[in-house]
Amino acid sequence: MAKQADTKTRGSRTGRPVMALLDLLGRRWSLRILWELRGEPLTSRALRTACDEASPTVLQARLTELREAGFVELGEGGGYGLTPLGRELCATFMPLHRFAERWRR
């Protein structure tokens, strides 16, 4: 679904969705949260541990932003998980992940 040129995008003054997405993903811990949730839902405590003891305040702020953006959801069991949109986004990281694995060698 393409946006019209004059339509504003959440988080972007220019209306460019890619710029709003890069701004969100560039915030501290955003990518790490998405990456850690790619396998299975995690509780706040487990997610904090997976994120190297990120500050609870910052972690909750990022989770709120990622939930509002539609990438993360809070499950009925209390754990955070990826939405279908979040899983699609994480799938786009896999070529970069494979590149990073080759690069580190």
Rounded Cα–Cα distance for residues 83 and 88 (Å): 9
Q: Residue 103 in contact with residue 95, Cβ under 8 Å? A: no
Q: Is 10 or 16 the better-scoring residue by pLDDT? A: 16
- Kindly report the backbone phi and psi dihedral angles of residue 78, in degrees, each rounded to the nearest multiple of 5, phi listed first: 95, -5
User: Domains along the chain?
Assistant: 17-104 (1.10.10.10)
Classified as helix, coil or strand, 103 is helix
Tokens of 25: 């993903």
What pLDDT, in 10s, does the model give residues 40-79? 999 999 999 999 888 999 999 999 999 999 999 998 888 9
Closest to 92 (Cα-Cα) out of 28, 21, 42? 21
What pLDDT, in 10s, does the model give residues 18-36? 888 999 999 999 999 999 9
